[in-house]
Amino acid sequence: MSKDKLAKPELTSDRRFRRTASVDHLEGLGAVTRITRMTLRYPVRVCLALVATVAAAVMQLSIPVILGQAVDHAQTMTGSSENRNELILIALTLLAVSIARGLFTLVQNYAAESVGHALARDLRNAIYDKILRLPFSFHDRTHSGDLITVGMLDLEGVRMYFSTALVRTVLLTLLIGIGAWLLFSTDLVLGVLALSFVPFAAWRSIVMRLMLRKTWLILQERLSALSQVMEENLAGIRVVRAFAAAEHEMAKFDRASQSALTLSHQRTNVRVNNTSAMTLAFFAAMALVLLVGGRQVAAGEITLGTLATFLTFMTMLQMPVRQLGMMVNGYARASTCGARLFALIDMEVEVQDRPGAKELQVSEGTLRLDNVGFAYGDGRAALSGISFEAKRGETIGIVGPPGAGKTTLMHLIPRFYDVTEGAISIDGQDIRDVALSSLRQAVAVVQQDSFLFTTSLENNIAYAQPFTDDSRIRGVSESAQLHDYVMGLPNQYATIVGERGVSLSGGQRQRLSIARTLMMEPAVLIFDDSTAAIDAGTEKRIREALKNYAADRVTLIVAHRLASLIHADRILFIEDGKIVEMGSHTQLMALGGRYKALHDLQMRPETDAQDEEGAGR
């Protein structure tokens, strides 16, 4: 057996985490503080990054000073070997300082990225763990793409926080702070002129980054809409082709794409205009330094090396000043992304193990529902006053009109939702008091919508028991009437199932889902309209094959086709969330109520067809 049997199901997403530019200020500040604390989980790498940042800044600040000294020395050279040796020494010093700066910058970047990726790994695992534990009620209000966006783009915003915000704050503080002090202490007027571009460039950089950040969030919304159009078309490509709707879908995709392109052009204009303004301010300040400094050099007030120091420092400072906007954007992005990300991680899990929950102990295998009621989060009542008991070996059929609450009832038994009234117990143990893992080993649901993984048939069947032997896989496949079909395939059980099982028919997918559930050998087996896509003959053969299997457990069958329920020990007719009729097929037919009316409605076409055939003879 391959380890691919351990493949995990794909994720869904929740609309409440849709990206938005509006995040409460205090919430965002709390997110930044929390991210900062989380980075301290890696003290060695954090300290290494900060020490390397300080060392790189010192080396970078030394370069203009050394260059100034070199210019002054070259200006006073007499051609002697001693002067040449001094100049060579200065050049070697400059080379060594530059190399050291590069090495310290390398260490800084590596350590900072290492902290960010380690933090991302922790958060990624926390997000995935939360998603796996959130109940069905969470996924009921979800939309694919939004939650994935949180787990990818928002996670990336948090990951970049340490390197683009914290480390850059230290670096820019040292470069601008110490550099300004050096310049002002050398010549106040030239210092002011040299730094005159800084306030304007910093302002435009911050404005640019915040504007880009705001439009980026909007662009993400538009790209998300674009992705949803593409996702729907890929998933429904057969429908699109069948209805010759390719032109309509292409037009819809083009509108979404054009909307994203228009905003991208606006973002480019913001970047180009602000970058040009910052560059103009820098060269204007440099021209002033050259003009005033040149006059001071001519007047003998400062040396040419001093002027070179000022110009070199300005050139060196241009990029860090522009990065002020990136730094501010790092904080802003971390606050918005972190707030959404932590909102997911901190979300309370509605269905979880109670303190001290024990493993479910199954002895008699008796399932009991006592006055069970359930209402969804919006207050809409789905079930009320449901009471019945089923013992090992009994088969309970459940029927009723669409929306009556049949599937909801089935989802309460394995605690996909928690009851809001009454109690459900197995062998006298309230299912809310036992460990979820043991409960869901004891209660298995065969869903109507059969999700299959993109892997082999063998791995899909053995998902619940990934290391089982091949004979067990073959046995459950035979019970589900799937084995003969599989053996007719070129690769048999090693055949790869297409994405979401599109290479199989609806009936084949349902039979595979039945086989996968039988692998669990549960105490309570639930068929939630899971044979709707299977023809009547195959369904009858499945029912016959499962007779011995059902003798050791409670079997619940939800079906719209009454032929699937006639053999049940008892049948519950549910309407408007309540049991309105209960009894065997014979008893309900004699009652002459809703069940009989539904039976007559389903059976009459067949009877009429037989009568017409007899009359034709």
The DSSP secondary structure of 128-171, one letter per residue, reads: HHHHHHS-HHHHHTB-TTHHHHIIIIIHHHHHTHIIIIIHHHHH
Q: What confidence score (pLDDT) does residue 110 get? A: 92
Task: Give per-residue pLDDT as tens, 122-168.
Answer: 888 888 888 777 766 666 665 556 667 676 777 877 888 888 888 88
The pLDDT confidence band at residue 610, using thresholds 50, 70 and 90, is very low
What percent of the chain has a predicted confidence (pLDDT) above 90?
Answer: 5
Q: For 480-518, what is the HEC assignment? A: CCCHHHHHCCCCHHHCECCHHHCCCCHHHHHHHHHHHHH
Task: Give per-residue pLDDT as tens, 49-103.
Answer: 999 999 998 998 888 888 888 887 777 765 566 667 877 888 888 899 989 999 9
Q: What confidence score (pLDDT) does residue 177 get? A: 86
DSSP state of 404: S
**Picking from 54-63, 419-428, 486-495, which range would have the lowest pLDDT averaged per residue?**
486-495
The CA distance from 398 to 369, in Å, is 14
Q: For 188-213, what is the HEC assignment? A: HHHHHHHCCHHHHHHHHHHHHHHHHH
Q: What confidence score (pLDDT) does residue 7 get? A: 35
DSSP state of 230: H
Domain 23-345: homologous superfamily in CATH:
ABC transporter type 1, transmembrane domain (1.20.1560.10)
Spell out the domain ranges in the chain: 23-345, 367-448+523-606
Q: What confidence score (pLDDT) does residue 9 get? A: 34
Tell me the pTM.
Answer: 0.68
The CA distance from 207 to 20, in Å, is 19
**Picking from 16-20, 244-248, 312-316, 355-359, which range would have the lowest pLDDT averaged per residue?**
16-20
Q: What does the block give as tokens for 584? A: 């065997």
Task: Give per-residue pLDDT as tens, 255-297.
Answer: 888 888 888 888 888 888 888 888 888 889 889 988 988 888 8
Give residue 536's identity as a one-letter amino acid code.
A
Domain 367-448+523-606: homologous superfamily in CATH:
P-loop containing nucleotide triphosphate hydrolases (3.40.50.300)
Give how far the C-alpha of residue 509 lies from the chain's centroid of Cα atoms, to the nearest Å.
27
Of 419 and 449, the one with more pLDDT: 419
The CA distance from 340 to 131, in Å, is 14
CA dihedral 322, 328, 333, 336 (to 10 degrees): -160
| In contact, 318 and 282? CB cutoff 8 Å | yes
Expressed in percent and rounded to 5, the helix, strand and coil fractions of the chain are: 65, 10, 25
